[in-house]
Amino acid sequence: MNINDLKTIAQLEQFLTGTQSVAFVVASTKRDIYQDIQRTLAIFRYPALDKPSKGVVVRFLIKITGYSRQQVTRLVKQYRDTGKVERQQRTHQGFKSIYTAEDIRLLAALDERHNTLSGPATKKLCERAHTLFGQTQYQHLAGISVAHLYNLRKSKPYLRQRYTLEKTRPKVALIGERKKPQANGQPGYIRIDTVHQGDLDKQKGVYHINAVDEVTQFEVVCTVEKISEQYLMPAIEQLLTCFPFVIKGFHSDNGSEYINYKVAALLTKLLIEFTKSRSRQTNDNALAESKNGSVIRKLFGYAHIPQQWASLINTFNHETLFPYINYHRPCFFPKTVKDKNGKDKKIYPYECMMTPYDKLKSIENAKNYLKPGVTFEILDKFALSQTDDQAAEQLQKERSKLFKTINERGLKSG
């Protein structure tokens, strides 16, 4: 029997139970399927059938079309409402995009300049660019949510412009800690650590001396050839001079480059409290350790850099890196709250994100902590002399020039 010969509900039931042998051809296009559904509903006068018979017709249509019950039910409803079963072509194009391809290219360029900071930090840069520096092209990105910012970073226009892969590099800090410094919300208590720039053929690379203020996250990086007294003492004196506020505390791990009589004598002369890390308290110097990864390793990587370039790198640190990380690079700052058990807990709200210099200015009676001869008028003029983008572009330009010089002269000398 041909499917067109099925004229009664009883025959449909026999077909569904498999007792009636029927030959039928599955329609090749959706339009043909819809026409078959309409023809079947018309032949059996579907609207006039009783409920059990309607169920038989629906099961029959599911069987021959392969559609789900929900889809067949929708098409039957269309037939009851209009007398036809027609394909309803989608006419709208979905949601309108808020962020254009130009916005995505702008975000990619911003990430390129700033070495792809975290989502909140990037959002803060967009806000500062629009509100503080009047860069109107950041109008849309200034209002973006952090979650959607990460969505844009996954988009094809963004990935076509830049694509970076970074592996997590674990760092074990073998720290034996002695005393935790107590800053009590006052600037001037710095944490210091040493970062070695790799070995090559038993030749040591340069050493970066990284000092970070506990409260404001003001950061000074000095680069030396070796960590012997001859090179380290001038570097420590230089970094203490670079901070705009008076230094009151100096905290390090138990490395011999810092735990020695020369460093202790220098700090005693300057009336600076000298503390070192306690045993099994790895958070004492965690701030400096985190800055090692997020600033120094991100800029200089892990590859070997010969010691002969220490002076050139140190000039780059002082003239280019120092202004950028302290006046133009936003950081998270913790806020202490009580949890349900009454214990102190640190959280990092977006509202507390700012640059180290902005954090310094936000401290109560901040001008009292500045060094003699240093005023916020002078520092403001320096901070606003460049936009965040201009400072980042200068950093990338000078870093490229630095590594180009090292590579070219290294090849000639080799």
pLDDT for 230 equals 86
Asked if 254 contacts 278 with a C-beta cutoff of 8 angstroms, the reply is no
Q: Which residues of 182-219 are buried (b: 16+ CB within 10 A; e: fewer)?
A: ebeebbbbbbbbbbebeeeeeebbbbbbbbbbbbbbbb
Summarize pLDDT for 328-374 with one digit per residue, the tens: 999 999 888 888 888 888 899 998 899 999 999 999 999 999 999 99
> Which residue stretches of 115-174 are H helix?
119-127, 146-154, 156-161
Q: Is 353 helix (H, G, I), strand (E, B) or coil?
A: coil
Paired tokens of 6 = 């099925």
Residues constituting the chain: 414
333: closest CA among 212, 240, 244, 227?
212
Q: For residue 176, what is the enclosing H or E element?
A: strand 176-178
What are the beta bridge partners of residue 220?
Answer: 211
Phi, psi of 335 (to 5 degrees): -130, 130
Report the C-alpha gap between 288 and 220 in whole angstroms. Answer: 11
Can you list the residues of the chain whose pLDDT is less than 70?
1-4, 19-28, 90-95, 163-178, 410-414
Query: What's the Cα-to-Cα distance from 413 to each of 101, 165, 200, 294, 403, rounded to whole Å?
Result: 46, 32, 16, 32, 15
Taking the domains of the chain in order of start, what are their residue ranges? 3-82, 101-161, 189-411
pLDDT of residue 2: 58
Distance CA 89, CA 31 (A): 12
Q: What is the pLDDT of residues 82-99, one digit of tens each?
A: 888 888 776 666 667 888
Question: Is-contact 388 125, C-beta < 8 A?
Answer: yes
Give the torsion through C-alpha atoms of 199, 200, 205, 210, to 10 deg: -40
Q: pLDDT value at position 174?
A: 36
Using alpha carbons only, give the angle 240, 231, 246 rounded to the nearest 5 degrees. 5
